Homo-oligomer: A and B are copies of this chain.
Amino acid sequence: MGARGPGPGDWSFESTSAGKGRTSSVAIAQALQRRILTGEIAVGSWLRHEALAAEFGISRTPIREALHVLQARGIVTIVRNRGARVNGHSSRDIRELGEVRSELEGFAAQLAAERITDEQLEQLRGSWRGFRDAIEEFVQKPSQERDAETAARWVAANDEFHNLILEASGNRQLRVSIQEIHHRLPPNSSYLAYSGRERLLRQNLAEHDKIAEAIGRNDGATARRLMTAHIRRAVMATVDWMEGKGLLRDGAEPDEPLAR
Mask: chain A, 19-31; 1 = CB below 8 Å from B; 0 = not: 1000011100100
CB neighbours of A177 from chain B (8 A): 100, 177, 180-181
Find A8's partner among B24, B68, B87 (CB 8 Å cutoff). Answer: B87
CB neighbours of A180 from chain B (8 A): 177, 180
A200 shortest CB reach to chain B, Å:
24
- Bound CA span A127–B176, Å: 32
Q: Which of A208-251 contact B (CB under 8 A)?
A: none
**Identical subunits present:** 2
Given the known inter-chain contacts A6-B260, A104-B103, A259-B172, please indicate yes or no for A72 contacting B73, CB distance below 8 A: yes
Q: Which of A151-202 contact B (CB under 8 A)?
A: 171-174, 176-177, 180-181, 184
Find A68's partner among B4, B9, B69 (CB 8 Å cutoff). Answer: B69
A238 shortest CB reach to chain B, Å:
14
- Bound CA span A126–B103, Å: 30
Answer whether residue A144 sits at the interface, using C-beta atoms and an 8 A cutoff.
no
Taking a contact as CB atoms under 8 Å apart, the answer to whether A93 and B5 are in contact is: no
Answer whether residue A256 sits at the interface, using C-beta atoms and an 8 A cutoff.
yes
- Bound CA span A96–B19, Å: 34
Taking a contact as CB atoms under 8 Å apart, the answer to whether A100 and B104 are in contact is: yes
Answer whether residue A107 sits at the interface, using C-beta atoms and an 8 A cutoff.
yes
CB neighbours of A258 from chain B (8 A): 6
Taking a contact as CB atoms under 8 Å apart, the answer to whether B68 and A99 are in contact is: no
Given the known inter-chain contacts A74-B9, A103-B107, please indicate yes or no for A96 contacting B173, CB distance below 8 A: yes
Answer whether residue A207 sits at the interface, using C-beta atoms and an 8 A cutoff.
no
- Bound CA span A99–B104, Å: 10
CB neighbours of A96 from chain B (8 A): 171-174
- Bound CA span A256–B61, Å: 28
Find A100's partner among B173, B259, B260 (CB 8 Å cutoff). Answer: B173
- Bound CA span A19–B79, Å: 13
Q: Name the CB-closest residue of B to A76.
A: B8
Given the known inter-chain contacts A8-B74, A24-B80, A25-B68, please indicate yes or no for A173 contacting B107, CB distance below 8 A: no
